[in-house]
Amino acid sequence: MKKEFKKTEKAAESDKLKSGQIIDIAVSALDEEGYGVGDYEGMPVLATGVLPGEEARVKVTFTGRRVSFAETVKILRHTPSRLKTPPCDKAAICDGCPLIQMKYPAQLAWKTELVERKIRRYRSLSKAEIHHTIPSPKPLHYRNSAKLVVAGKFAAPLIGIYRRNSHEVIDIGNCPLHHPLINKVVQAVKEGIKKGKVPIYSARTGNGILRYLVVRISEMENRAMVILVTAQRSYNEIHHLAKHLQSVVPEASIIAQNVNGSAGNAILGEKDYFITKERAFMDSVGPIRFSISPRSFFQVNGGGAQIIYEKVREWGELTGREAVIDLYCGIGGISLYLATGAKDVLGIEAVTAAVTDAENNARINGIRNCRFEAGDAAELLSRIQEKQDKFDLIVLNPPRKGCDERVLASVASLAPARVIYVSCSPQTLARDLDILSGHGYRTLEIQPVDMFPQTPHVENVALLVKD
């Protein structure tokens, strides 16, 4: 039995790490967020920029009661998995892509192991086959969208992301994860802020105008959509900034101002004011085209999304006679991808605007055997059950939190021959697959897909059959 030692509050306080303190740690593993896990005199320390098997000198950036955070100052002992020259000069301090210093095959192996750990916690999933992680077609410059914070003063603007546990903004510069056109837009906006002396919003004082920069790219059309998020409606400064942006980046063919005066963390407010005549562009995943507007959900890695959609279609084994439900369908990506091989497809989505987009995308692609309904998943499935409609395949693609147990029970009550579960969280995927096993569904295979290279996130596709 492990002994427990109690310290007085005064003694514990004296042992506590201090912010700014320099310490040496040995790293044994990466946690689920890609932080190196070390230990300093019994206190767990999570450090950026360090890999398993390494020893590092780190600077403490935040201390809590149970864990402290740090950034790497110097690697004292290297692992063979480390790249000699990372593609980013901010790799040691940026939280956005903590695996970017790791060789790409090692990243893929780590993600497979992560999925294995989560899945094997459940006895019901012990026989499920877990495949090696499929690599992204583009390990770098794959992100077609970015939501960035604008900070600092107009004379020296910062555009980037928040450092963990703080409101300090890391200026990302020429980010190697972003599509090159995003980086081009970011640089042009910085120049425009300086040139036009655009006041930057301060959360501390409530003064200033420009808060966030949102950029979306159509790889198909090589065009950019730029949303300038402001604390208040400001015509002159933002229009001059937009004019400068278009003169430097003519690919920025859609520019809008979004007003967000709230004090919360939401990036977009409710109202968009378009500066350009155009309000949407087209992009594609495989043969399916999509209309993208400022609020449309679209996969940030088009090549990775195609791998997932193809895997869903492969495992669906469609012959043209099947009735399919695509639950949490978004703007209809998987629904439209499956429609050409199915008899009919019903897409279900809680967000009404996404359903409108999905219907529009079906029209764009000339697909007539897809219909979409907006509403609560559990309620809509209950109605379907009451009508005793039969479905051969149900696809689940929920948000990170996974599925409500009522939804899983309703899916099982419809008794499809196959269920395919697409998940961005190995933890909630494992939980939900275990629940479905209790409803008579056996997980045969799980395919991890690297949708987000250089980060700890991994997408998974799971195939279940009815016992």
* Catalytically annotated residues: 424
Q: How many CA atoms lie within 13 A of 122 on its CB side?
A: 21
Q: How far apart are CA 39 and CA 45, in angstroms?
A: 5
CA distance to 124, 133, 145, 160, 191, per residue, from 182 (Å): 44, 27, 8, 12, 14
Q: How far apart are CA 415 and CA 439, in angstroms?
A: 10
Percent helix, strand, coil in the chain, to 5, is 25, 30, 40
**Identity of the amino acid at 68:** S
- The answer to whether residues 180 and 144 touch, using CB atoms and an 8 Å cutoff, is no
Q: How far apart are CA 65 and CA 391, in angstroms?
A: 51
Tokens of 417: 């021959």
- Start-to-end Cα distance in the chain: 42
Q: How far apart are CA 188 and CA 389, in angstroms?
A: 54
Instruction: Kindly state the DSSP code that residue 297 receives in the 8-state scheme.
Output: -
Q: How far apart are CA 375 and CA 339, in angstroms?
A: 21
